Structure 1
Amino acid sequence: MTFPRPLTAAGAVLALGLLAGCGDDEPAARPTPSPATSDVATESSSTPPTASPSDQASAVPAYYVGETPQGDRLYREFLQVAGADRLVATAAAITSGDPVDPDYRTLWPKGRFASVEKTADAIVVALPDDTWVSAGSLKPAQARLAVQQLVYSLQGAAGARLPVRVTLDGEPAATLLGVPVGDGLSAAPELDVLALVNVTEPAEGTAVSGSFTATGRSSSFEATVAWEIQDADGKVVLEGSAMAEGWIDKLYPWTTEVDVSELPPGDYTFVARTDDPSGGEGGGPTEDTKRITIT
């Protein structure tokens, strides 16, 4: 198993270098693993991240696309942003297509928004030109998921379920990637667009020792989330289960303590998956994996 290079902290370069008014040759800084922070776009019972001063890092959510038994769905990871507007940073992350987890990707064509801002009743994104008005090479289902990728990410960064409005040359745009905008884009039901299990912690590339707290969200049969740790050869060396706070209607938080004190130092993979009472007849469980190092 090949592990990625050490992660570096993300900052204003990531956010501002991909939006209008900045150079195209800015280096694409990679974000660091982040704390288990909730966003109200997908967890109505949670408290949104507390805004930090511009010179301090704060965690902002970004949604990316990954494969599941139900087809492509959205997975969430967090970016560490310092010295940049949260909405600007999130929009830049989505269009740059550079998630930390290599299992994730973006559906967005390369480019940048002219501006992204929160008003009293909406999140407004301005298109730089008419490139993103149509779907381009995206299939209709991909375009719809790409739009939801943006909506979920921006609502999470804003900490509010505000509609996302799109403008072009200062006027309302009729479509975004071929998807009708109407009076504003709203988040689709979670079970229609989100992966049914998502690991928040440990984040991709995390170093752990002794024990750690694993957290995430899921909608799994009877709220049961199975987890395991695999060694570098893919052998399961530790396993257990966690109970989420609910299931059926949306994704709910889950948490569990994982004791790795008996495992030798090295590279491992933490896996969380939904329970599958059908025995694979429904396509199999959904899973999310994070590569970790035990020190």
Structure 2
Amino acid sequence: MRADESPDWLVRLYEEQGATLHRLAVLLGAEEGSGRIVRGALLALHRRGHRLIDPAERVEFLQETVVHAARSVRPPQQPLDLPSVEDPRQGDLLRALSALPPRMAELIVVSHYLAVFGPELAGIMRMSLRACNQKLEIARETLRANLDDGETPPAGLEALSQEITAALRASARTVQAPGTDTLAAELEQLGEGGQLRFGPRSVVALTIAALILGLVLAAVTNPAVAPAEMPHASPDAGTEPTASRSMPAMVRGIPIYYIGRQDGAMYRELRDLSSSGDLVRSAVEALLTVPPADPDYESQWDSGQVLDIEQNADSIVVDLSADAYADIDGAQEEEQARNQIVYTVSDLVANPDLSVRFRSEGRTPPGAFASDTGFKREGLDPMPLVWITTPRNLARLSPGETSIVGTIKPGYGDPVVRVVNSETGKVMLEEAAQTATVANQDGWRVWSVKPSLPAGRYEVSARVEGTAGRTIAETKTFEVG
């Protein structure tokens, strides 16, 4: 937040973007959780308001957060189910779009509904520019081929893009706005310590805007296409049972290592992955295809395929398609990409001395990934100074005593842990964590706190003084109840 900025900037941003963000979440298959997703995005932006001061960056952050939160609540292989419209041509286009593989459909929906392309779209999707452009081109060509009935000449890509945008916006207009009274209260009550306080005039303005927004959306919504009749409830006899029967078993708590956007350090998330019989392969595939749940993380891998995994007692050979390496540019990105795979697979097989060698379609990989002896872990060097390991980001916990656990590198003081109710701004806990005096077998000092928390949404942060008096912090959000 700029020094000269009005304190109600978040209110005004919600007035401008709230309806679009809600409709985006619904188009991406997260109708039931859309209100929570939009609220979470706004509150996450408020926490970063001092860092994100450019209006365009703030909007992009909200869009990015909504896209990936919607993806996280939708089963991985579940097709998008777009609200139907009256226009026959638009209806055909939306059905063809819904029939695409979910990631293809998602990319088209985000780009054409929001009208963002190029670097902006790549940022929202957490992809490299090259990979994003290639995948969007493939998705549009696939959609155009699926629409070809053999009689009508297929539309050009530019004309098709205009049709897609019109159809998606018509579909979005059938989505009614959620209730906004609780959001006004949340924005008003954000607590002390960097929180936002609104005077009565701002709250009144937000309430009026919310009422007007609801009336406008109700007016433009076609009653014949009410939310209760959206495709979530409309039957498709052959689709639902088949998807249910083919749902693979899930293995919980697979370690996947991502890169911190701010500090470039490596952070671990525990993810639930489909059991394919080869967990190492599943974990590496997740690095290439599964975005981090925490918006503060990213991956240097965003395309390509796992071709083969060869595993011995103390070594693993990872063979990837050539395009997996294509968008990794520069020594820092190459080192981070190597470490992501090395730390992920060595953690998974519980062998810190594991050697990982890379291949590209069975041949020698690009220079930074080529090694006859392979690559090993570099201890704690690539890891953050302080880390929250439990709970996971976006976890749901039971009310009562909550165990918050993390690690800190040896040689630094005890971290100060702060737990804040994201809905009310109330500080539930702020104290130095109980920290082990000696490091564990992995080299970390383990710390913990155990606050008693009622139902609600919370943000926990752990901070410590780093070198040169710089404060280092790790933050996660979770829900109780």
Quick check: TM above 0.5?
A: yes
Contact 2:259 2:298 in 1 (8 A): yes
Match of 2:444 among 252, 255, 265: 252
1:10-45 CA-to-partner distances (Å, cap 9, x unmatched) read 88x69xxxxxxxxx93669xxxxxxxxxxxxxxxxx
2: CA distance, partners of 1:201 / 1:260:
15
2:183 aligned with 1:183, yes or no? no
2:298 is paired with a residue whose SS is: coil
Question: Which runs of 5 or more structure 2 residues have no equivalent in the other structure?
Answer: 1-38, 42-68, 79-99, 105-247
Structure 1 window deviating more from structure 2 (239-248 vs 179-188): it is 239-248
- Listed as ranges, the matches of 1:212-251 within 5 Å are 212-219=402-409, 221-222=411-412, 224-232=414-422, 236-240=427-431, 241-244=433-436, 246=438, 251=443
Contact 1:94 1:108 in 2 (8 A): yes
Partner of 2:279: 86
Deviation, structure 1 residue 250:
6.8
Deviation, structure 1 residue 92:
1.4
2:299 aligned with 1:106, yes or no? yes
2:373 aligned with 1:165, yes or no? no
Contact 2:439 2:446 in 1 (8 A): no
- Listed as ranges, the matches of 1:273-284 within 5 Å are 273=463, 275-276=464-465, 281-284=468-471
2:400 aligned with 1:210, yes or no? yes
Deviation, structure 1 residue 168:
3.3
Letter in 2 for 1:186: K
Deviation, structure 1 residue 179:
3.9
Match of 2:344 among 153, 167, 191: 153
1: CA distance, partners of 2:346 / 2:289:
18
In structure 2, relative to structure 1, the CA distance for the partners of 1:214 and 1:126 (3 Å cut) is same
Deviation, structure 1 residue 210:
0.8
Partner of 1:115: 308
In structure 2, relative to structure 1, the CA distance for the partners of 1:112 and 1:89 (3 Å cut) is same
Partner of 1:64: 258
Contact 2:261 2:298 in 1 (8 A): no
Partner of 1:2: 40
Contact 2:419 2:427 in 1 (8 A): yes
Partner of 2:163: none
1: CA distance, partners of 2:342 / 2:71:
30
Partner of 2:317: 124
1:199 is paired with a residue whose SS is: strand
Letter in 1 for 2:251: A
Contact 1:267 1:294 in 2 (8 A): yes
Contact 1:221 1:247 in 2 (8 A): no
1: CA distance, partners of 2:339 / 2:474:
20
Letter in 2 for 1:64: Y
In structure 2, relative to structure 1, the CA distance for the partners of 1:231 and 1:56 (3 Å cut) is closer
Deviation, structure 1 residue 260:
2.6
Letter in 2 for 1:203: R
Partner of 2:390: 201
TM-score between both structures, scaled by the size of structure 1: 0.71
Letter in 2 for 1:290: K
Contact 1:270 1:290 in 2 (8 A): yes
Amino-acid identity (%): 21
Structure 1 window deviating more from structure 2 (142-151 vs 115-124): it is 115-124
Contact 1:227 1:242 in 2 (8 A): no
Which 4+ stretches in 1 moved above 6 angstroms? none
1:239 is paired with a residue whose SS is: strand
1:270 is paired with a residue whose SS is: strand
1:80 is paired with a residue whose SS is: strand
Instruction: Report 1 or 2 for greater relative contact order, CA contacts < 8 Å, sequence distance ≥ 6.
Output: 1
Question: Which runs of 5 or more structure 1 residues have no equivalent in the other structure?
Answer: 15-23, 29-53
- Higher share in strand: 1
2: CA distance, partners of 1:249 / 1:168:
34
Letter in 1 for 2:293: V
2:264 is paired with a residue whose SS is: strand
1: CA distance, partners of 2:307 / 2:441:
36
TM-score between both structures, scaled by the size of structure 2: 0.45
Deviation, structure 1 residue 123:
0.9
RMSD: 3.3
1: CA distance, partners of 2:450 / 2:413:
18
In structure 2, relative to structure 1, the CA distance for the partners of 1:124 and 1:137 (3 Å cut) is closer
2: CA distance, partners of 1:291 / 1:237:
14
Partner of 2:48: none
1: CA distance, partners of 2:294 / 2:437:
26
In structure 2, relative to structure 1, the CA distance for the partners of 1:87 and 1:10 (3 Å cut) is farther
1:186 is paired with a residue whose SS is: coil
- Higher share in helix: 2
In structure 2, relative to structure 1, the CA distance for the partners of 1:132 and 1:56 (3 Å cut) is closer
In structure 2, relative to structure 1, the CA distance for the partners of 1:116 and 1:223 (3 Å cut) is farther
